[in-house]
């Protein structure tokens, strides 16, 4: 039973739990059992105006933009994508246990590609007023922020005393690189977290969204050997075929992707099923989960829901 050994680590996510004898209290449902019992209303379809497709030779990465957190950056990114700004550019950096990053590969002092009708100056969008944001808090404490949870479908944090909320740097988070000045990002240089969550970046840089599908195409990119994981040789850069906004893609060519809503009783139950793993493999449920350990499930809509 060799390659199956560690498999059991996450068996709860893949297989129904063992039958419960009649004289036992029924077990709490596993994550998969909860998802299997989900209703169509537990899922949401990505808004094409907030959806980017990063097209690589290896496949498509789907990014959901977060206008509730970074409206100015998201607006600029929509314009840049609509005008084909990134088409033919490259991923220029891959730093182990940290980020990949793409954008204009022009070196310091070389001419840069025009931003077209996108803005060249944006405000820092490190945080936003907590008011007006439907924040769904986790029960667990967090070392980085007074509260953590989910808002608008994104992992986020909140400071009730200060009245602020912000997105969190979890695996898959997409942010806008900046220089020394807080307001020096324009949305052209985008990075994706692919290691241990670097939460020290929270409120120090503008997050614009997160990868909802295709992370495994980014996380395997060879690490650059230059400082900070930049590719030292231009030939090592990973070509970007195109970055397109879903609204610019014919509907028939858009993936039918649904994301689990994070503001429902079902989602709370899913989180609880991860806080305390109840399948037989686990000997000691943790009674805790960190924000960035929660993976938001996605699916293709079942046939019955399809148009």
CB-wise, 283 or 307, nearer to its own copies?
A: 283
For the chain, the straight-line distance linking the first and the last C-alpha, in angstroms and rounded, comes to 43
Number of residues that bind its own copies (CB under 8 A): 79
Which range touches its own copies (CB under 8 A), out of 43-51, 65-73, 214-222, 249-257? 214-222
Region class of 214: left (phi > 0), else alpha (psi between -120 and 50), else beta = left
Applying the rule CB under 8 A, the residues between 141 and 170 that interact with its own copies are 141-144, 170
| 297 part of the interface to its own copies, by CB under 8 A | no
* Residue 40 CB, nearest approach to its own copies (Å): 26
Per CB under 8 A, the list member of 31, 32, 76, 92 interacting with its own copies is 92
Longest dimension (CA), the chain: 75
Structure tokens at 25: 């209290």
- DSSP secondary structure of 115-140: -TTS-S-----S-EESTT--EEE-SS
Applying the rule CB under 8 A, the residues between 42 and 61 that interact with its own copies are none
| 111 part of the interface to its own copies, by CB under 8 A | no
| 215 part of the interface to its own copies, by CB under 8 A | yes
CB-wise, 3 or 250, nearer to its own copies?
A: 3
Residue 88 is given by DSSP the state T
CB-wise, 247 or 293, nearer to its own copies?
A: 293
How far are the Cα atoms of 129, 133, 159, 185, 216 from residue 176, in angstroms, in the given order?
Answer: 20, 22, 23, 6, 21
Residue 7 is given by DSSP the state G
| 195 part of the interface to its own copies, by CB under 8 A | yes
* Residue 112 CB, nearest approach to its own copies (Å): 6
Which among 163, 169, 165 has a CA at the least distance from the CA of 291? 169
Applying the rule CB under 8 A, the residues between 275 and 294 that interact with its own copies are 277, 280-286, 288-290, 292-293
| 125 part of the interface to its own copies, by CB under 8 A | no
């Amino acid at each position: 039973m060799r390659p199956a050994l560690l498999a059991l680590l996450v068996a709860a996510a893949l297989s129904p739990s063992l039958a419960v004898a009649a004289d036992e209290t029924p077990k709490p449902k596993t994550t998969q059992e909860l998802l299997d019992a989900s209703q169509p209303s537990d899922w949401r379809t990505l808004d094409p105006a907030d959806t980017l497709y990063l097209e690589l030779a290896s496949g498509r990465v789907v990014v959901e933009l977060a206008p509730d957190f970074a409206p100015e950056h998201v607006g600029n990114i929509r314009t840049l994508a609509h005008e084909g700004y990134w088409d033919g550019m490259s991923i220029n950096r891959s730093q182990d246990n940290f980020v990949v990053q793409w954008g204009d590969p022009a070196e310091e002092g070389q001419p840069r590609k025009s931003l077209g009708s996108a803005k060249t100056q944006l405000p820092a969008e490190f945080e936003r007023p907590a008011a007006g944001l439907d924040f769904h808090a986790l029960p667990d404490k967090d070392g980085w922020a007074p509260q953590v949870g989910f808002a608008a479908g994104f992992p986020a944090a909140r400071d009730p005393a200060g009245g602020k909320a912000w997105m969190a740097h979890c695996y898959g988070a997409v942010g806008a690189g900046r220089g020394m000045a807080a307001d020096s990002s324009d949305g052209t240089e985008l990075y994706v977290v692919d290691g241990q969550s670097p939460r020290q970046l929270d409120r120090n840089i503008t997050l614009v969204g997160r990868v909802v599908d295709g992370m495994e195409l980014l996380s395997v990119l060879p690490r650059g050997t230059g400082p900070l994981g930049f590719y030292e040789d231009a030939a090592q850069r990973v070509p970007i075929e195109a970055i397109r906004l879903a609204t610019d893609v014919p509907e028939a060519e858009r993936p039918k992707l649904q994301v689990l809503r994070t503001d429902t009783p079902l989602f709370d139950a899913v989180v609880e099923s991860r806080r305390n793993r109840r399948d037989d493999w686990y000997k000691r449920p943790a009674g805790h989960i960190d924000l960035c350990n929660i993976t938001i499930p996605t699916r293709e809509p079942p046939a019955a829901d399809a148009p």
